[in-house]
A = this chain, B = another copy of it.
């Protein structure tokens, strides 16, 4: 599949996690194209289709171009532990570098397309483009801190508020509405991500709605009292 060079590509690249590496490091045309020729557009993946599985050999990282990706492992009780959700512009596969194998499964929650970067080629390019190397270091470093977001002992309310606020900010950062969006994942997925029972997720969302914090119908959420949600989330997100 040849790289698409349409309107959409331009819009996506400006909100992608590599955008600053691609666009705003003062690269000249030839350097820019060197990074762009590494990109392979893959997909679309259908909802429920796996992108990679735990143990698969690692050779590329990928930026989500469209859709939502869920990563998860299955614990010894056969229960799914969701590790993260990846929205358009975010990068999957960074935790696979160490062992050269993917440590988790990745599955498409809706129709997903990706920009795939060969990691060996990207590393090689990074030795010639210090800005790209720095960018990769920062991406990796960022994910170290992100993973400890769930590590604290927080209440169900705090976890849920933090989840919604974080989602809101990520959508807003990519140009979508931060106050009105669709949950692309099931309640069960949210529960497995927040380490709660799905019943607890239902109950908390119901109570948030009763208290006027938000309005939720099916998968459609509208944040009504952002201030109070931010306040609850602050304990988790630390800002």
Q: Which residues does A use to contact B, with CB under 8 Å?
A: 73, 75-77, 81, 83, 94-98, 103, 123-124, 126-128, 130, 133-134, 136-138, 140-145, 147-148, 150-153, 195, 234-235, 238
| With A127-B128, A128-B127 as contacts: A141 and B195 at CB distance below 8 Å | no
Chain B residue, CB-CB nearest to A75: B235
Name A95's contact: one of B123, B144, B150 (CB within 8 Å).
B144
- CA A73 to CA B196, docked complex, whole Å: 24
A166 to B187, CA, bound (A): 33
Question: Beyond A151-B151, A153-B195, is A95–B130 a contact (Cβ under 8 Å)?
Answer: no
User: Once the chains are docked, how many angstroms separate the CA of A83 from the CA of B83?
Assistant: 18
Q: A83-B148, A152-B81, A238-B73 are in contact. Are A98 and B142 (CB under 8 A)?
A: yes
Among A94, A96, A141, A150, max chain B CB count under 10 A is at A141
Which secondary structure dominates chain A's binding surface? helix
Task: Name A134's closest neighbour in chain B (CB-CB).
Answer: B123
Which single residue of chain B is at the shortest CB-CB distance from A58?
A: B141
Q: Is the CB of A123 within 8 A of B133?
A: yes
Chain B residues contacting A97 (CB-CB under 8 Å) are 137-138, 140-141
Nearest to A130 among chain B residues (CB) is B127
For A147, give its contact among B133, B148, B235 (CB under 8 Å): B148
Which residues of the other chain, B, contact A127 by a CB distance below 8 angstroms?
A: 126-128, 130, 133
Which of the residues B77, B130, B145, B235 comes within 8 Å of A98, measured between beta carbons?
A: B145
Complex-state Cα separation, A97 to B134, whole angstroms: 9
Tell me if B124 and A130 are in contact (CB < 8 A).
yes
Q: Which 8 A-B pairs have the closest CB atoms?
A: A147-B147, A97-B141, A140-B140, A98-B141, A153-B195, A98-B142, A95-B144, A150-B151
Contacts of A148 in B (CB 8 A): 83, 147-148, 150-151
Residues of B within 8 A of A195 (CB): 151-153
Question: Smallest Cβ distance from A193 to chain B, in angstroms?
Answer: 10
Please judge, given known A-B contacts A123-B130, A133-B123, A133-B133, whether A103 and B138 are in contact too, CB under 8 Å: no
| Nearest chain B CB to A176 CB, angstrom units | 23
| 12 other A-B residue contacts (CB within 8 Å) besides A75-B238, A126-B133, A148-B150 | A75-B152, A76-B234, A76-B235, A77-B235, A97-B140, A98-B145, A123-B133, A127-B127, A140-B144, A143-B144, A151-B151, A153-B195
